[in-house]
Amino acid sequence: MTPAAEPVALLSELVSFRTDRADGDERALAVRLAELLEQRGPDEVVLGDVARADGHRPASWVYARFGQPRLLVNAHLDTVPPNADWSSDPFVPRIEGDRFYALGAADTKGAIAAILTALDDARPVDTGILFSGDEEFSSVVMRAFVGGPHRAGLERAIVCEPTNLTVGVRHRGFTAFEVGMTGPGGHSSQADTLPAPIATLARVAVALDDWGRARREEGPLGFPGMCLNLARLDGGVAFNVVPAAGRLLVSLRPPPGADTHAILAELEALVGAVAPEATFERLRDNAPFATRDLGAFEPLLGAAARAPIDLGFWTEAAMLGASGIDAVVLGPGNITQAHAPDEWVSIAELHRARELFRAVFQARG
């Protein structure tokens, strides 16, 4: 064991690593986190990378094993790019009163600092610690993790996101698809005889909107509707040119318990009925999430497990749940700070997070 580190000091170091997809380097922080985990006496530390489908710089992760893990504690090490309206350097910590300002302070490097400093006081048994990249973009690391060897034996997981240390147990999924149309295009004087991609896609859009409106009362208590969103309809180059192509971008957020695969199949069939010549490309298929057995987390989280909340945002807990690992979502900070300029986390809450994770690790010890 190293001497106990102060979470604010450790967080100050973590936020100095830029880990957004635009200009960051997840690998550099993962290497440092591997060193910090090694200092805390696990049985194994594994550092790795996962290729992204678009050929961008690989995503990185580090995993520490204590015993034969049945519990996973996870926080993501990446951030979104800094918002343009920051009032100070987002990678240089700024402390004002009880607030620690920096990009990633709440989402979720504050949780990483709390976890690491809690390990100074309690060595867990049969626990895995995963600090994962690419959560903010395509979740390639978590997809690789649930399909890899470290998934074996895991029964439960605590996924860190900013919830003000309350326990999140349900959230919607997030699904997106694009409908495409092509044609020969041509001079607008031929509009009566040429295929009209934009008009056809507009009819598809109305059919999809009708589908969403018809389901606005469906879903469990607290999650009515599918939140179907017609996000974009575009194509064409000028008023006197019949477009050669058009595209319609659609998203929806199915409620907990919904079968996203079945919903996408239904919507693809609906598109085919309106426009048989259209293409249908699935862009995202992130399942909804619901904790299955909250009582099993009470020995770890105590009273917090008896006051759960629903979440308004998607998390990778859904991917763990789909793989058979029951999960809850919990961490310091507030989601209203995440992705916003001048992101901050309460220092008092950061210390409470350290105490909470210490109790989790002692319960496993």
Q: What is the pLDDT of residues 224-261, one digit of tens each?
A: 999 999 999 999 999 999 999 999 999 999 999 999 99
> How far is Cα 108 from Cα 168, in angstroms, rounded to an integer?
15
**What is the tens place of the pLDDT at every residue in 94-123?**
999 999 999 999 999 999 999 999 999 999
> How far is Cα 52 from Cα 42, in angstroms, rounded to an integer?
29
186-187 vs 241-242, strand pairing mode: antiparallel
At residue 300, φ and ψ (nearest 5 deg) are -90, -40
**What is the tens place of the pLDDT at every residue in 51-85?**
998 888 999 999 999 999 999 999 999 999 998 89
Q: What is the pTM of this model?
A: 0.93
> How far is Cα 179 from Cα 173, in angstroms, rounded to an integer?
20
- CB of 13 closer than 8 Å to CB of 35: no
Q: What is the CATH code of the structural domain delimited by 174-286?
A: 3.30.70.360
**What is the tens place of the pLDDT at every residue in 11-23?**
999 999 999 999 9
- Where do the DSSP E strands lie in the chain? 44-50, 59-66, 71-76, 94-96, 99-101, 127-132, 156-159, 168-171, 174-182, 186-187, 229-235, 241-242, 245-252, 279-286, 289-290, 309-310, 326-329, 344-346
Q: Which two tokens stand for residue 146?
A: 């649930």
> Any idea where the domains of the chain sit in the sequence?
7-171+288-363, 174-286
CATH fold for the domain made of 7-171+288-363: Aminopeptidase (3.40.630)
Q: Please report the pLDDT score of residue 4 as a whole number.
A: 46
- CB of 40 closer than 8 Å to CB of 97: no
